[in-house]
Copies of this chain bind each other. A is one copy, B any other.
Amino acid sequence: MPEFELIERIRARAGGRDDVVLGIGDDAALLRVPPDRQLVVAMDTLNDGVHFPRGTAAADVGWKALAVNLSDLAAMGAEPAWCTLSLSLPASDDGWVDGFLDGFLKLATAHRVALVGGDTTRGPLSICVTMHGLVEPGRALRRDAARAGDAVWASGSLGDAGAALALLDAGATPPAALRERLDRPTPRIALGRALGGVAAAAIDVSDGLLADLDHVCAASGVGMRIALDALPASDALLAACDAAARTGFQTGGGDDYELAFTTPPDADAAVRAAALGAGVAVTRIGEVVTGERVRLFDDSGREWMPTARGYAHFAAND
Contact = CB atoms under 8 A, between A and B. Distances in A.
Given A39-B39, A128-B86, A76 B26 contact: yes
A157 interface: no
A29 to B, nearest CB: 5
Contacts of A91: none
A201 to B, nearest CB: 10
Interface in A38-91: 38-45, 47-48, 50-51, 72-73, 75-76, 78, 82, 84-86, 88
Interface in A234-281: none
A21 interface: yes
A301 interface: no
A191 interface: no
Sort chain A's interface into a size bin: 35 or more
Interface stretch (A129-137, A161-169, A225-233, A288-296): A129-137
A116 B47 contact: no
Contacts of A121: 45, 47, 50-51
Contacts of A51: 121
27 contacts: A21-B140, A22-B140, A26-B219, A27-B42, A27-B203, A27-B204, A28-B41, A28-B131, A29-B42, A32-B38, A41-B84, A41-B116, A42-B117, A43-B117, A43-B118, A43-B119, A44-B119, A45-B119, A45-B128, A50-B122, A50-B123, A84-B130, A86-B128, A88-B126, A123-B124, A124-B126, A126-B126
